[in-house]
Structure 1
Amino acid sequence: MSAVDLCRPGALRFFQRPCKGIRRDADESENLPMPINVAVVGCGHWGKNHVRNFAELGALKAVVDPDAKLAASMAEQFGATAMPFEDAITDTAVDAVVIAAPAELHARLALQAFAAGKHVFAEKPIAMTMAEGEAMRDAAAKAGKVLMVGHLLQYHPAFVALRNFVREGGLGRLRYAYSHRCSLGKFRLEENVLWSFAPHDVSMLLALFGEAPSSVSGSGGAFVSDGIEDEYRVDLQFPSGGRAHVFSSWLHPFKEHRLVIVGETGMAVFEDSAGGPEKLRLYRHLIETGGGAPVPTKADWEPIAYGDEEPLRSQCEHFLDACAGNHSPLTDGAEALRVLDVLIQAGN
C-alpha cells in the first residue's frame, strides 16, 4: 500500500519553523529575538509535563504551586526557582506564564498576568464562561500579548496530516464525523467528562469542518458520583450539511481514542490508541448509485504519512515561537472561544 504523502514542505509548517525563542547558534545574527522565559503555574498531574518540557527547551524560569514542597522539589529537579504567583508575574526575567491550574482559576490568573505584561498559555478549556474567555481575549489584545490555549491534539502530527489532507480536498465534502474519547478513569470531582475530555474532540471537529455548528445538543449520565457526568454525548449540525458527534467517557471498559471522518470521496480514521501506520488510515471505498439500492465496493486501507513529533513538545515550541515573534498561535483565544461556546451549549 502506498502512503499519502503529507510531509511535503508546508504540511507541518508550524512545526518545521525553528522556535525563535529557544534556538540560537553562536554564529546567528544578534538581532534575533531574545529567549523566552516562562513560569509554569501548577505542577500537578498535567502541569509537571509542562515543567519538564519547558525545562528541556531551556525556557523554564520559575514554578508556582500552592503546595510549597512540590514547587520546591520541581524547581530543584529542573533548575528553576519556586516562587509565589504574584512574584512570578512581577519578575522582569519572566516573559510568559503557563497556566496548568484548575479551569475555574484560568481567567483570574490570566488577567493578572496580562496586566503585568506577560504572554499567557492556558490549559483547556480556556475558561468556564464566555464572559471569562472573552475577558481573557480582550486583555491579551489590550496588552499586545499572546494568548494560547492547550488544545493539544491540534499539535499531534497525525492530526496535522489529517487536517491538511481534508483541507486540500482529499475526502471531498465532509458528510459526517465522530470522535470517541473513552477510558476507565481518571475520575474527577471538579469537572465532568464533557469539560475534561471533549474540548480536544470539539477543537478537532471544528478545525476539520472549518465552520461553527448551526446547532449543538448534548446529554450525559452521572453513575459514579452524583452530579458529575461520567459519560457524555455531543451532537453537532453544520451549516454545510455535515454532522458530527463526540462521545466522551471515563466509565468505559477499554481505552478508545478514535476520530472517524466520512466524505464524498473517501473516509479516514485517526486512531491515537493504535501505533505505526494504523494510527492514520485512508479508505477509498466506492458506492455505486446507478440504479436500485446503492452497492458498496470495499477497498483496503492506505496509510497516510505523518511525522513523529511529540505533541506536547510541539505545542510548547509553538507557544515559545508565538511569544518570540508576538504572533497569533494556532489555538488562540478566538479558536478557544469557539470550542468553549460548543461546550456551554452542550452542557445546557
Structure 2
Amino acid sequence: MTDVLKAGVAGAGVFGGYHANKYAETEGAELVAIYDHDIERAKERADKFGAKGFDNYDAFLAQVDVLTIATPATTHASLAAKAIAAGKHVLVEKPIAMTVDEADALIEAAEAKGVFIQVGHQERYVAAAFGLFDREVPQKVTSRRMNRYSPRAGDVSVVLDLMIHDLDLLAQLTGRSDADILRIESRKEKGDFADYVDVTLDIGGVQARLIASRLEDDPVRDLRMEYLDGQVHLDFLKREVANTTPEPVAADFSGDDLPLALKDPLGFGTESFLAAVRSGVSPAVPGQAGRRALAMALAIEEAIDA
C-alpha cells in the first residue's frame, strides 16, 4: 500500500461533494477522480479539487485505490459490485443495497477479493462518542429524523433514506435486529414512496418508536433513551444533551475541542475507512452492519405495503 491512497467519488451531486471535500481534507489521501453519468457535472466537481472527471466508470476505477459511492440508492449495489471486482476498497452510502440478496453478494465478493466495504451510517460515530453503546440496554427508545423535502432521494422511501440510520443505531443499542412491528403509520405526498413513516417496534423487549419524515418545515433530529434510573436525550440539531441518569455521558457538545466524531462525523468516517484500508482491520461499519439495517428497513417497507 502506498503512503498516499488515491481516492475517488462516484456521484457529483450534493452529497458526493461532501465526500469529495473529506478526501481532499484528509491526510494520506489524494482525491484524483470524480465519476458521474453527466460528464459536465463530473468535470465541474473535479476541477474544484484538481482532479479528473469521468463518465466512464471502468476508466474511473482504474485511477483509484479507494472510492466512495454517493449516487442514488438504486445504483449502490451495481457500482459497488464493479468496484469490488476491480479490487477497490469501497465506502458505500446507505443503504448498502436495495435487497438483502444484493447486500450478501457484496459482502461475499469483498471477502473473496480481499477488499473492505464500509457503509455510511455516520450517526453510529456520534452515538459511540457519547458512550451510548457502552451503557445498559435502554427500556425504551424514541427517535425523530424529520427534514424538509428534497428530491435528492426520491428514488426510495423515507425508511431507506432517513430512518435506516436509526435502525442501525437501534440494532447497536440492543445488540439485536429481530424486531416485531407493533404499529405503523405512513403517507406519501411527493412521489411513489412513503415520505412519512411512524413505526413502533419491539426488539428483544425494548420498545422503540421511530419517526422519519421529509415533509417538515422545521427539521428535528433527536434520540431519547429511557432507562430504569432516568433518560438520556440527544438533540443533534440544537447540539444539546439532557441526562437524568446517574451515569454521565462520555462526551457532550460543549467546549471548543470536540472529538472529530461529534464535530465532523462524515470526516471521522472517512478517516476510519482509510485507516481500515491501511491497517487491514475491519472498518467501523462493515458491510454486515449495513445489511442488518437494510433487512430491518425492508421489513418496515413490507409492512407499509401490506
- TM-score normalised by structure 2 residue count: 0.88
Match of 2:104 in 1: 134
In the TM superposition, residue 303 of structure 1 has moved relative to its aligned partner by 7.1
Partner Cα separation in structure 2 for residue 130 and residue 262 of structure 1: 31
Mapping of residues 56-75 of structure 1, within 5 Å = 56-57=25-26, 58-75=29-46
Indicate yes or no: 2:275 matched with 1:305. Answer: no
Whichever residue aligns with residue 300 of structure 2, its letter is A
Match of 1:161 in 2: 129
- Render the CA deviation track for 1:107-153: whole Å, top value 9, x for unaligned: 11111111111111100000010011111101100001000000011
Partner Cα separation in structure 1 for residue 150 and residue 237 of structure 2: 17
Aligned-residue sequence identity (percent) comes to 27
Q: Which runs of 5+ in 2 are unaligned?
A: 253-257
Match of 2:268 in 1: 314
Conserved in 2, the CA contact under 8 Å of 1:38 and 1:60?
Answer: yes
- Render the CA deviation track for 1:73-125: whole Å, top value 9, x for unaligned: 1211101111221112233xx11121111111111111111111111110000
Which residue of 180, 187, 190 maps to 1:215? 180
Could you say what the CA RMSD is over the residues aligned between the two structures, in angstroms? Answer: 2.1
Secondary structure at the counterpart of residue 12 of structure 2: coil
Indicate yes or no: 2:142 matched with 1:196. Answer: no
Secondary structure at the counterpart of residue 237 of structure 2: coil
In the TM superposition, residue 284 of structure 1 has moved relative to its aligned partner by 3.0
Partner Cα separation in structure 2 for residue 166 and residue 318 of structure 1: 18
Secondary structure at the counterpart of residue 324 of structure 1: helix
Secondary structure at the counterpart of residue 154 of structure 1: helix
Q: Which runs of 5+ in 1 are unaligned?
A: 1-31, 286-300
Partner Cα separation in structure 2 for residue 89 and residue 227 of structure 1: 33
Whichever residue aligns with residue 102 of structure 1, its letter is P
Whichever residue aligns with residue 201 of structure 1, its letter is D
- Greater relative CO (CA pairs within 8 A, separation 6+): 1
Structure number with larger C-alpha Rg: 1
Secondary structure at the counterpart of residue 59 of structure 1: strand
1:283–1:43 distance in 2 versus 1, CA, 3 Å: same
1:66–1:220 distance in 2 versus 1, CA, 3 Å: farther
Match of 1:53 in 2: 22
Runs (4+) of structure 1 moved beyond 4 Å?
301-304
Match of 1:297 in 2: none
Partner Cα separation in structure 2 for residue 327 and residue 153 of structure 1: 21
Match of 2:52 in 1: 81
In the TM superposition, residue 33 of structure 1 has moved relative to its aligned partner by 5.7
Indicate yes or no: 2:306 matched with 1:345. Answer: no
